[in-house]
Structure 1
Amino acid sequence: MGKAGTKGVSRADRERQIVDVAVEEFGRHGYAGVSVTAVARRAGISKPLVYSYFDAKDGLYLACVQRVGALLVDAVAGARARSGSTGHALDTLSALFTAVEQCPYAWSVLYDPAPPWAGAAGEAVRQYRERLAEMGAAGAARLLDRAGHADPLDHQLLNEIWQYTVTAVMRWWAEHPEQSAAAMAERCARLLTALGGG
């Protein structure tokens, strides 16, 4: 068990509380628009306490990236029930929606258009994005392989379409936060069915 933080809160619990606030701050305002002072104020603690836990703004951002990156990677990795089928795309989107419904700013933290690319935080962003991209590419490849399409350019194009589609869907959802994860899954199912001519 960690040492007690301020007002009898354990260090681990205090860190979780700070990261909860910071994820929302980074998600709303982007890395460049967030200050440690603002996070401390919203968390109801002192700025020096944040620094004592995370060393610097980059350390705080790294903790946020690790939380949301693991959440998103685990969600996509778990959506394998229909791997290699057209249903796998919907399974993956549904898993992402469920994860982001639990942590509404997860996607925007990991896909901040201007994160710090240097240091441990930048490396973590790259690694989580690459892992998600690799899983998307593998899913697209399995779908084409199953259909007997071996052209590498087909694989490349479908992967590009998938990556941009997921990004567009997540951005659209951020602009329509009244939509639940279930509603988003239903909407995407309708659109995929329509696009498939079903």
Structure 2
Amino acid sequence: MSDISGEAAGARAANPARRRRVPRPERERQIVDVAVQVFAKRGYHGASVDEIAELAGISKPMVYLYLDSKEGLFLACLRREADRLVGAFEGAATASGATPELRLHAGLLAFFSFVAEHRDSWVVLHRQASELSETIATAVAQARRAVMAQVAGLVWAGIEDSGPDSQLSDEDADFVAHALVGAADSLTDWMTRHPDQSPEGVTLRLMNMVWAGMGRVLKGEVWVPGADG
């Protein structure tokens, strides 16, 4: 018997009649809630649809009826958690002030806060999905492109705000966006090893490393090997 949600399983068992009346969208949400926990704890291959069904309070055939297969269930988890992450980034970046750097700061803070607050979700999105089937890897890539487009747009807005003398191009904006997203991915593992570090602190350090550095380049300062010698 799993130790993931024993109390919830007991509550469901106490009232089977109510369980049968749950609307399908709500039931699917409950299944995905449980599945995210199980996939995060057991891994994709170690997770059991039997365990997920038991914790969700329905039969195994009902899980397949709702979500088709184990891969379909994992994809439902992946897409929902990716939508939540992208939505958190977009919502914060859209609602937080006029300047591109403030919007980017807010988006990155929302990203790191999501990872800190929804560790199971991040395990599913970041550590497991890319190692599975082509269908799942494609869903991960789509989610990553959505975040990348947001970041690149904010970087390009910052370049435009620097004035007509800027020497940076669309390719430079894309380069910085990839560097930022790649750094953010890697820093989530760093945060796990440094639990005393807050999302706010990590966001500020990343902004100082990347955005401040880009600001120097926009002012014409470019590092070249051997230039100081």
Normalised by the length of structure 1, the TM-score is 0.76
Matched, 1:46 2:64: no
Give the direction of change, closer, same or farther, for the CA distance of 1:7–1:133 in structure 2 (3 Å limit): farther
C-alpha distance in structure 1 between counterparts of 2:206 and 2:144, whole Å:
26
Aligned counterpart, 1:158 = 176
Asked whether the equivalents of residues 31 and 114 of structure 1 are also in contact (C-alpha less than 8 Å), the reply is no
Which gives a bigger RCO, structure 1 or 2 (Cα 8 Å, sep 6+)?
A: 1
Aligned counterpart, 1:34 = 47
Q: 1:21 aligns with which of 34, 43, 46?
A: 34
Task: Report the aligned-residue RMSD.
Answer: 3.0
Which structure 2 residues correspond to residues 29-178 of structure 1 after superposition, within 5 A? 29-78=42-91, 79-80=93-94, 81-82=96-97, 85-111=100-126, 112-118=129-135, 121-147=136-162, 148-176=166-194, 178=195
- Structure exhibiting the larger radius of gyration computed from Cα positions: 2
Give the direction of change, closer, same or farther, for the CA distance of 1:34–1:179 in structure 2 (3 Å limit): farther
Asked whether the equivalents of residues 105 and 203 of structure 2 are also in contact (C-alpha less than 8 Å), the reply is yes
Q: 2:201 aligns with which of 176, 186, 190?
A: 186
C-alpha distance in structure 1 between counterparts of 2:26 and 2:61, whole Å:
17
Asked whether the equivalents of residues 115 and 188 of structure 2 are also in contact (C-alpha less than 8 Å), the reply is no
Gaps of 5+ in 1: none
Count, aligned residues: 188
The amino acid across from 1:113 in the alignment is S
Asked whether the equivalents of residues 148 and 178 of structure 2 are also in contact (C-alpha less than 8 Å), the reply is no
C-alpha distance in structure 2 between counterparts of 1:115 and 1:179, whole Å:
32
How much has 1:54 moved relative to structure 2? 1.3
Matched, 1:8 2:18: yes
- Counting aligned pairs with the same residue, the percent is 31
C-alpha distance in structure 2 between counterparts of 1:29 and 1:173, whole Å:
21
Gaps of 5+ in 2: 1-14, 214-229
Asked whether the equivalents of residues 69 and 110 of structure 1 are also in contact (C-alpha less than 8 Å), the reply is yes
Normalised by the length of structure 2, the TM-score is 0.67
How much has 1:153 moved relative to structure 2? 4.2
